[in-house]
Amino acid sequence: PDRHAAAELSPREKQAIGQAAAQALQPRQSVIFDSGSTVLEAARAAVQRGIPLTAVTNDLAIAQLLGASPLVQVHVLGGVLRAGSPTLTGDALTEAAARLHADVLLCGAHSVADGVLTETSAEVAAAKRALIHAASVRRLLVDSSKFRPRTFMQVAPVTDFHELITDDGATADDLERLRAAGLRVTVVRA
């Protein structure tokens, strides 16, 4: 999955979701920025806010973006670079994540269906699972195009998250199911 192709899908929605996620961050929090185009927008918005953060990421593009701010201390989790992507995965990453305890995780997903988030690759799914376990507050950032049938590999149930931030293109049914699962749902206007 090409990041540029992903970024071209729903760019306004991703930007609005990223803005909302960045606004919820508190100065001096430790924040895990998962890989992906929507989380990249959250990183961009966090830098624009100009608040001090300790950031952890497994995405080289997000690390570079965050590193441009003198207020953000950036930790990059090591691993194996996924072909055609800035995403790092692998055993080194999951082992490093097991030693982390961050305040917040901003997590993306390939799809959300039937109360489960899924990914296209086992390695990416394993990386996301490790990051989920490494944070106290977990926010899922998904634009409304992500409410689609499951893909290859299950990551986690949506109930592993505290909040889901999406755009107003999500159907009332999708939102109601998420709320019924106990998730706080924030809907932004794109």
* 159: pLDDT strictly greater than 90: yes
Rg, C-alpha atoms of the chain: 15
Closest CA to 162 of 147, 141, 143, 184: 184
pTM of structure = 0.95
Q: What's the distance, Cα to Cα, between the start and end of the chain in Å?
A: 24
pLDDT at 7: 53
Helix axes 37-49, 11-23, angle to 10 degrees: 50
> Percent of the chain, pLDDT > 90?
91
**70-98 pLDDT, tens digit each:** 999 999 999 999 999 999 999 999 999 99
Helix axes 91-98, 122-133, angle to 10 degrees: 10
User: Average pLDDT of 52-81?
Assistant: 97
Distance from C-alpha of 176 to C-alpha of 88, rounded to nearest angstrom: 34
Distance from C-alpha of 52 to C-alpha of 69, rounded to nearest angstrom: 9
